[in-house]
């Protein structure tokens, strides 16, 4: 009996040693699978109990809040009850995030976020970029850039990063010239040449579509253009595929510093960069919003004549192109 017991013990120890000698990749795969299974089980349990964890996200009405609405059920599958708080300006959603009223917000690009932090002493960071909205010049009283009258009124956003973006687009169209080093911090004070004596009027970005009919032209942020029913394909000009703006202005999900890897943030980013949301953006917005899969935008290559883009990211991947659906 004693020999039998010792033999059995020895075999058990040998088997354990053999299992411990499995490859690290196998262990990692098993651990990942277990983690995913645990996450799914927790989400299912929460949903079954009606005890979903609240996830509060601030957003501008279009396209951001609409995209979030499309993500609601997907987030519920991960155990989160999404609450969307809509804002019509660019200040309150960041203040609400800093104060803890929001878990995240989704409305801005990183240059604006960085400038906001510098000017307000906030501690907000990007969890990743989701999509890119091309800036456009839209017709008001004038329907041709070539025929703009001397002293024509041109509306631009009044916040630093978006005003620079508007001025760079006007410069690209030959309507004015900026100081060589102005770049993404350009203001009207950096205009060195204005051959048509354009009257550049700064307005809050949200006011631009509503004031368009009273001006000759306006340079409008993509989200406010979408909200107002303006189409990129109808713009007099859009940002070039190789412009500084196209490489910089991906719309990001912002969170408080330290929350980049929280469970809530991970779930939100996984859903917003999923194939389901990609399909929603592609179908609903066409060329007006381009999904960039949560990674930094590097280049946006224009396709055809409709202002459509194929997007390449820091990872080197080409995520999707609109395959002519926007080309007129």
152 and 215: one domain?
yes
86 and 168: one domain?
no
In this predicted structure, the answer to whether residue 289 has a pLDDT above a threshold of 90 is no
Secondary structure (H, E, C), 279-322: HHHHHHHHHHCEECCCCCEEEEEEECCCCEEEEEECCCCECCCC
pLDDT number for residue 24: 41
32 and 173: one domain?
no
Structural contact between residues 188 and 167, judged by C-beta atoms closer than 8 angstroms: yes
Tens digits of residue pLDDT in 2-36: 444 444 443 444 344 333 443 444 444 454 555 55
110 and 256: one domain?
yes
Q: In which region does residue 128 sit, left (phi positive, over 0), alpha (psi from -120 to 50) or beta (all else)? A: left
| Structural domain includes residue 312 | no
Structural contact between residues 201 and 212, judged by C-beta atoms closer than 8 angstroms: no
In this predicted structure, the answer to whether residue 318 has a pLDDT above a threshold of 80 is no
Q: Into how many domains does the chain fold?
A: 3
Side-chain half-sphere exposure of 267, counting CA atoms within 13 A: 27
Structure tokens at 187: 């203001």
pLDDT number for residue 325: 27
Segment among 86-100, 126-140, 262-276 with least mean pLDDT: 126-140
Structure tokens at 99: 């104060």
The domain containing residue 79 runs over which residues? 53-133+248-295
CATH code for position 107: 3.40.190.10
| Structural domain includes residue 120 | yes
129 and 144: one domain?
no
Structural contact between residues 107 and 237, judged by C-beta atoms closer than 8 angstroms: no
162 and 189: one domain?
yes
In this predicted structure, the answer to whether residue 57 has a pLDDT above a threshold of 60 is yes
pLDDT number for residue 323: 25
62 and 112: one domain?
yes
| Structural domain includes residue 305 | no
77 and 118: one domain?
yes
In angstroms, rounded to a whole number, what is the distance separating the alpha carbons of residues 128 and 135?
20
Q: Other CB atoms closer than 10 Å to residue 23's CB: what's the count?
A: 8
Structural contact between residues 53 and 96, judged by C-beta atoms closer than 8 angstroms: no
pLDDT band at 148 (very low <50, low <70, confident <90, very high): very high
| DSSP-derived 3-state class of residue 46 | helix
Tens digits of residue pLDDT in 108-145: 999 899 999 999 999 999 999 998 888 999 999 999 99
259 and 201: one domain?
no
| Structural domain includes residue 290 | yes
Structural contact between residues 249 and 147, judged by C-beta atoms closer than 8 angstroms: no
Tens digits of residue pLDDT in 307-317: 343 333 333 33
| Structural domain includes residue 325 | no
| Structural domain includes residue 307 | no
In angstroms, rounded to a whole number, what is the distance separating the alpha carbons of residues 185 and 171?
14
Q: Other CB atoms closer than 10 Å to residue 322's CB: what's the count?
A: 18
pLDDT number for residue 65: 97
In this predicted structure, the answer to whether residue 223 has a pLDDT above a threshold of 50 is yes
233 and 269: one domain?
no
40 and 118: one domain?
no
58 and 150: one domain?
no
| Structural domain includes residue 303 | no
| Structural domain includes residue 309 | no
């Amino acid at each position: 009996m004693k020999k039998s017991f010792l033999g059995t013990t020895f075999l058990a120890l040998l088997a354990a040693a053999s299992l411990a000698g499995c490859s690290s990749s196998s262990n990692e795969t098993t651990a990942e699978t277990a983690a995913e299974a645990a996450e799914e089980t927790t989400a299912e349990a929460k949903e079954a109990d009606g005890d979903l964890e609240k996830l509060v996200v601030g957003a501008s009405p279009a396209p951001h809040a609409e995209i979030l609405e499309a993500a609601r059920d997907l987030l519920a599958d991960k155990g989160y009850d999404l609450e969307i708080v809509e804002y019509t300006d660019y200040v309150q959603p960041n203040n609400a995030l800093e104060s803890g009223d929001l878990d995240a917000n989704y409305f801005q690009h990183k240059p604006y976020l960085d400038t906001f932090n510098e000017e307000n002493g906030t501690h907000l960071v990007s969890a990743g970029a989701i999509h890119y909205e091309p800036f456009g010049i839209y017709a008001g009283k004038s329907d041709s850039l070539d025929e703009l009258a001397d002293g024509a009124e041109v509306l631009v956003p009044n916040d630093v990063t978006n005003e620079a973006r508007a001025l760079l687009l006007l410069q690209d169209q030959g309507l004015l010239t900026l100081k060589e080093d102005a770049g993404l911090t350009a203001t009207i004070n950096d205009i060195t040449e204005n051959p048509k004596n354009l009257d550049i009027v700064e307005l809050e970005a949200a006011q631009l579509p509503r004031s368009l009919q009273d001006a000759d032209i306006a340079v409008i942020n993509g989200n406010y253009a979408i909200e107002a029913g303006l189409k990129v394909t109808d713009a007099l000009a859009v940002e070039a595929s190789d412009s500084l703006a196209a490489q910089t202005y991906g719309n990001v999900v912002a969170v408080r510093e330290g929350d980049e890897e929280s469970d809530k943030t991970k779930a939100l980013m996984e859903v917003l960069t999923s194939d389901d949301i990609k399909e929603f953006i592609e179908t609903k917005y066409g060329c007006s919003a381009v999904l960039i899969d949560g990674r930094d935008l590097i280049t946006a290559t224009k396709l055809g004549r409709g202002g459509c883009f194929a997007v390449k990211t820091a990872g080197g991947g080409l995520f999707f192109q609109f395959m002519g659906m926007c080309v007129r």
